[in-house]
């Protein structure tokens, strides 16, 4: 059975920074409250012309470059997002087209903030079963588009960004070691974005009542999160036949520093063993774990051979954890990774559209 190694990584965040002081000019809050209750100082906000796909393509291009793969080497793209570009087509297909990943299947996965863990697990299982060799796993969000900027209990939390991993098959032991995925739909009403789906299609009424915004029972989500983080970490370690002492880093979903501190207490681990960067990005949902991972690699904290646990929770309710041995890029002949792959991808997409347009005219005339 092949192993599924994480061999490439990349991230992208919008340039625009929104600080706690900036938010205190919009709603009745202040920097001290936000820092004390959440640990967040600032977050990134997408420009009007930046979408989940824009950030995802940037992060994925970097991840492919680190993994030394061409877009056409990718067999499968899983895009985990809570804020997809549309209900359909899938954001993964937009990314597939823009990258020029012509041999890849592509789909979106919705498991809210736990989505990136679910997605790595799905990609790893496809690799381990032998059905594919190379996968691109993305977490991408523009949550700022769904935030009610008059609700101080939610608008302080969320930010925009994207992260991507490349997973590759290898006979060398390592990579993804075990994973656990959980859900409890009875808590679905604790964190919702209701309008725009089939039950509440967009209407004057949904707009008037703000049903197209994120709504959350913060205290209940907090209680749930503090309960499941340590529990899922212990479970995934047991599955991987590891102990907490084997783990170099826990990389948690970055929602609230107090939730991460509770997990640390539950696991009897010092906070120094947790990767935390939420003070600069806030809660970026599915992007938070890859953003924290990429920064840890770039700072030299996370190194090849380190055993790590990703752990997260979110709307659904969902929660889960994944244990892995960090690999780093595989040793392959370096390919020159020019910008031209993306340009070629765009050109091919344009030609496909043009052909469809011309065919439409011909068929239209024939009818
Ligand atoms: O990815 C998963 C997504 N969600 C989460 O992880 C969220 C989990 N929950 C949380 O992080 C926390 O519950 C919050 C940060 C959302 C809220 O913190 P809290 O310590 O649970 O505050 P609270 O809701 O218990 O509210 C305490 C007080 C309230 O005032 P009263 O009723 O005691 O007078 C709130 O009205 O703080 C007030 N408050 C604020 N005050 C200043 C709520 N939001 C703010 C604010 N600034 N932004």
pLDDT per residue over 124-140, tens digit each? Answer: 999 999 999 999 999 99
Ligand 1 atom index nearest CA of 152:
48
**pTM of the prediction?**
0.95
Question: Using CB atoms within 10 A of its CB, is residue 360 exposed (0-12), middle (13-18) or buried (19+)?
Answer: exposed
- The residue contributing the CA closest to ligand 1 atom 11 is 256
To test the ligand 1 pocket, which listed residue (141, 222, 261) has its Cβ within 8 A of the most ligand atoms?
A: 222
Q: Class assignment of domain 3-325?
A: alpha beta
Distance CA 79, CA 116 (A): 8
Other CB atoms within 10 A of residue 307 CB: 18
pLDDT band for position 334 (cuts 50, 70, 90): low
Mean pLDDT of the 304-312 span? 97
pLDDT tens across 248-291, in order? 999 999 999 999 999 999 999 999 999 999 999 999 999 999 99
pLDDT tens across 25-54, in order? 999 999 999 999 999 999 999 999 999 999
Could you tell me if 107 and 79 are in contact, meaning their C-beta atoms sit under 8 angstroms apart? yes
Active site positions, annotated: 113, 253, 283
Average pLDDT value over all residues in the chain: 95
Which residue is listed with tokens 């393509």? Answer: 57
- The residue contributing the CA closest to ligand 1 atom 17 is 218
Distance CA 121, CA 176 (A): 8
Record the tokens describing residue 246, joined without a space: 């084997």
Q: Kindly state the helix (H) or strand (E) to which residue 192 belongs, with its residue range.
A: strand 191-192
What percentage of residues in the chain have a pLDDT greater than 70?
Answer: 97
Q: How far is the CA of 28 from the centre of ligand 1 (A)?
A: 12
For the Cβ of 254 lying below 6 angstroms from any atom of ligand 1, the answer is: no
For residue 259, the SS3 value is helix
For the Cβ of 107 lying below 6 angstroms from any atom of ligand 1, the answer is: no
What integer pLDDT is reported at residue 364 of this predicted model? Answer: 82
Nearest-10 Cα torsion for 304, 75, 81, 1: -50
- The residue contributing the CA closest to ligand 1 atom 38 is 153
Mean pLDDT of the 173-202 span? 97
For the Cβ of 218 lying below 6 angstroms from any atom of ligand 1, the answer is: yes
For residue 267, the SS3 value is helix
For the Cβ of 29 lying below 6 angstroms from any atom of ligand 1, the answer is: yes
What integer pLDDT is reported at residue 363 of this predicted model? Answer: 85
What integer pLDDT is reported at residue 328 of this predicted model? Answer: 83
Distance CA 281, CA 155 (A): 13
Ligand 1 atom index nearest CA of 312:
1
Q: How far is the CA of 156 from the centre of ligand 1 (A)?
A: 9
């Amino acid at each position: 059975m092949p192993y599924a190694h994480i061999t490439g990584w990349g991230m992208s965040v919008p340039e625009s920074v929104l600080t706690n002081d900036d938010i205190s000019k919009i709603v009745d809050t202040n920097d001290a409250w936000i820092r004390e209750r959440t640990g967040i100082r600032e977050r990134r906000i997408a420009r009007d012309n930046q979408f989940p796909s824009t950030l995802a393509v940037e992060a994925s291009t970097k991840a492919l470059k680190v993994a030394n793969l061409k877009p056409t080497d990718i067999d499968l793209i899983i895009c985990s997002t809570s804020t997809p570009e549309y209900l359909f087509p899938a954001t993964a297909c937009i990314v597939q087209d823009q990258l020029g990943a012509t041999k890849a299947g592509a789909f979106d996965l919705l498991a809210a903030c736990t989505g990136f863990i679910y997605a790595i697990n799905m990609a790893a299982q496809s690799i381990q079963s032998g059905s594919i060799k190379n996968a691109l796993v993305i977490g991408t969000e523009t949550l700022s588009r769904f935030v009610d900027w008059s609700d101080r209990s939610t608008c302080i939390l969320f930010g925009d960004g994207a992260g991507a991993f490349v997973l590759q098959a290898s006979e060398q032991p390592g990579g993804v070691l075990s994973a656990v995925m959980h859900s409890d739909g009875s808590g679905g009403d604790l964190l919702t974005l209701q309008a725009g789906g089939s039950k509440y299609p967009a209407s004057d009424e949904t707009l008037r009542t703000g049903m197209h915004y994120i709504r959350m029972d913060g205290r209940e989500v907090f209680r749930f999160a503090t309960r499941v983080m340590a529990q899922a970490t212990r479970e995934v370690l047991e599955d991987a036949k590891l102990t907490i002492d084997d783990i170099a880093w826990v990389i948690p979903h970055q929602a609230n520093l107090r939730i991460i501190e509770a997990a640390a207490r539950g696991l009897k681990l010092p906070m120094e063993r947790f990767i935390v960067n939420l003070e600069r990005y806030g809660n970026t949902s599915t992007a938070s774990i890859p953003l924290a991972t990429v920064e840890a690699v770039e700072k030299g904290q996370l190194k090849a051979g380190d055993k790590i646990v990703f752990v997260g929770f979110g709307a659904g309710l969902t929660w889960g954890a994944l244990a892995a041995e960090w690999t780093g890029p595989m040793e392959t002949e370096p390919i020159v990774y020019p910008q031209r792959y993306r340009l070629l991808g765009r050109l091919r997409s344009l030609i496909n559209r043009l052909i469809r347009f011309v065919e439409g005219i011909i068929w239209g005339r024939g009818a």
